[in-house]
Amino acid sequence: MIVDDHEVVRRGIAEVVDRSEGLTVVAEAASVADGVRRALLVRPQVLLLDLQLPDGTGIDLLTAVREQHPDVRAVVLTSFDDDDAVAAALAAGAAAYVLKSVRGAEITDVVKAVAAGRTLLDERTVARRRAGHEDPTENLTPSELRVLDLIGEGLSNREIAERLGVAEKTVKNHITSLLAKMGLQRRTQVAAWVASRKHSGWRAEPGH
């Protein structure tokens, strides 16, 4: 069963899967609510689902379906190469995580492997990814993280001091510290980093 809110993408995936020997698309859906309803009706062996849906995420869908149909196997197929999304997919019970940039034959190979009981997504995969994508904010203190967020909102040092109820000098000290920890030189780089994170998050823009 394929769940993706982009009809062209969904139909394209369905054609690739249906053409592959031994695979049949039993249902399609474009939202979490529709996906849950149809999955519980047809009880597919494998769910092939997108992360971003109009009324939630593929993780929400998988969690809801597995409560009623715990044996269902799931492949997350998404355009988001995001560590948090991979970890969330693993926690929800997904057996594989595939980017939409892969070739059609690779998608069907993964579906067949997952249907056969193989798991291509495990704790080691997530740990390896995280090791290769270190979070530059992981050593920041709670106060520094708050300052980071407020810089991202476009606030000046004085405005941040007022918001946090601290002296402006304290804010400057926090910024000096967080710049050093993140390996950045300027405040503008911090603002740009926060902005880029907001736009890359897999939960940020429903329907993609």
Shared domain check, 99 and 7? yes
d(CA 155, CA 178) in angstroms, rounded, equals 16
Kindly state whether residues 165 and 63 are assigned to the same domain: no
Q: Are residues 101 and 157 in the same domain?
A: no
Q: Which one-letter amino acid corresponds to residue 33?
A: A
Is 56 contained in some domain? Answer: yes
Same domain, residue pair 69 and 162: no
Domain containing 80 equals 2-132
Q: Look at the chain and report how many structural domains it folds into.
A: 2
104, 175: one domain: no
Structural element, H or E, at residue 102: none
**Binning pLDDT at 50, 70 and 90, where does residue 199 land?**
low
Is residue 117 packed enough to be buried (19+ CB in 10 Å), middle (13-18) or exposed (0-12)? exposed
Whether residues 93 and 114 share a domain: the answer is yes
93 and 15 inside one domain: yes
Q: How far apart are CA 68 and CA 60, in angstroms?
A: 13
Q: What is the pLDDT of residues 84-143, one digit of tens each?
A: 788 888 888 999 988 888 888 888 999 999 999 998 876 666 666 666 656 778 788 999
pLDDT at residue number 206 = 47
131/160 Cα distance (integer angstroms): 32
More confident residue, 196 or 37: 37
- Tell me if 137 is assigned to some domain: no
* DSSP three-state, residue 99: strand
Domain with 28 in it: what CATH number?
A: 3.40.50.2300
Domain boundary residue among 111, 132, 153?
132
Q: How far apart are CA 143 and CA 60, in angstroms?
A: 32
Q: Are residues 107 and 186 in the same domain?
A: no
pTM strictly above 0.85: no
Note whether 107 and 156 are same-domain residues.
Answer: no
Residue 28 belongs to a domain: yes
CATH number for the domain spanning 161: value is 1.10.10.10
